[in-house]
Chains A and B, each alone.
Chain A
């Protein structure tokens, strides 16, 4: 299967700072990547769709100014949590798919803790 990698796997930051999470497709090119958020003991919730070379599209209720997404190349998408607050603490997971098969592959996830 295709490999998607995230970095960092965990990060702790102070309230008010910004945090950047990277998502890379290692062995395929991804024009579209997806960012999910997962709270403890809950399912994955789609936050936004990252589109290479164009603006990301956000799901209802997700603040685009809070969660900045940049998809500058066919193998890299970044999610920046701006002015992080404790309620932003969560597990953030990116994914990328193979359009010809519809299979969706996930990164390892990044656990953000905002103090």
Chain B
């Protein structure tokens, strides 16, 4: 079945640094969603992407829909302690409204 692999699996960064993570698939996606999940809570939608090549920002977050439609990238600029959490990409399983989730990138920010 379709799978979404995220890298890196985890990362430790200093406050103020920029962060970059990606999500790749073996098959094409028509929509990419990026989420952040804090411990013990449900995921919160950060950015939605709908077109190949699309670049969308939400504050310090920027996400891009890869040209091949098999990948997406999320960048966080000038990280702050509250950016700590797990970031997931998600996309609809082929021909359905059912979203599958990536493996997640765990981010830790050192003050």
Contacts and interface: CB of A to CB of B under 8 A. Distances in A.
Q: A and B bound?
A: yes
Contact of B42 (A43, A46, A108): A108
Contacts of B44: 106
Contacts of A105: 45
A104 interface: yes
Interface in A99-114: 99, 101-109, 111
Contacts of A6: 42
Contacts of A106: 35, 42-45
Interface in A57-115: 91, 93, 95, 97, 99, 101-109, 111
B43 A93 contact: yes
Interface residues of A, number: 26
Given A34-B98, A43-B101, A102 B42 contact: no
A49 B98 contact: yes
A32 interface: yes
Given A108-B41, A109-B40, A103 B48 contact: yes
A49 B35 CA distance: 20
Contacts of B43: 44, 93, 106
Interface of A: 1, 4, 6, 32, 34, 36, 43-46, 49, 91, 93, 95, 97, 99, 101-109, 111
5 contacts: A91-B40, A97-B99, A103-B33, A104-B99, A106-B35
